[in-house]
A = this chain, B = another copy of it.
Amino acid sequence: MEQLVADIFARDCTSRPTLEAVAGKWGILALAALHDGSFRFNALRRKVDGVSEKMLSQTLQTLERDGMVLRDVQATIPPRVEYSLTPLGHKVAEKLVDLIELVESEMPQVHEAQSRYDAS
């Protein structure tokens, strides 16, 4: 009865949680940042303005588990943990960066649409 549904529209599709993680609020930003190079925890937190330690830690954990992110721990004092993208993570991040760039470039259109909507 182990059914791996490969249809994103089906509620049981196993890719749904993964898609939610990579495209989610903090996942997309973390992956986009890591697309430009590896980061240590607090550096990544400063880059992704607005994310809490908790949400970042949680997000990175999920992304690591899904095979998108590599967590390299060095036994130093103070501790040193470096995050980077796996090859898979890199492929996904490229798509995410494309999406981000498109949305950013279309924001004037979005703002117009919002004003029109709010006036109706």
Contacts and interface: CB of A to CB of B under 8 A. Distances in A.
A22 to B, nearest CB: 7
Q: Which 4 A-B pairs have the closest CB atoms?
A: A67-B113, A11-B50, A23-B23, A11-B49
Contact of A102 (B20, B64, B92): B92
> What is the interface of chain A mostly: helix, strand, loop, or mixed?
helix
A23 B91 contact: no
A75 interface: no
Contacts of A104: 6, 8, 15
Given A66-B114, A91-B102, A28 B32 contact: no
B92 A8 contact: no
Interface of A: 4, 6, 8-11, 14-15, 18-20, 22-25, 28-29, 32-33, 47-50, 64-67, 86, 88, 91-92, 95-96, 98-100, 102-104, 106-107, 109-114, 116-118
B103 A9 contact: no
A65 B100 contact: no
A67 B107 contact: no
B23 A8 contact: no
Greatest chain B CB density within 10 A among A23, A91, A98, A116 is at A23
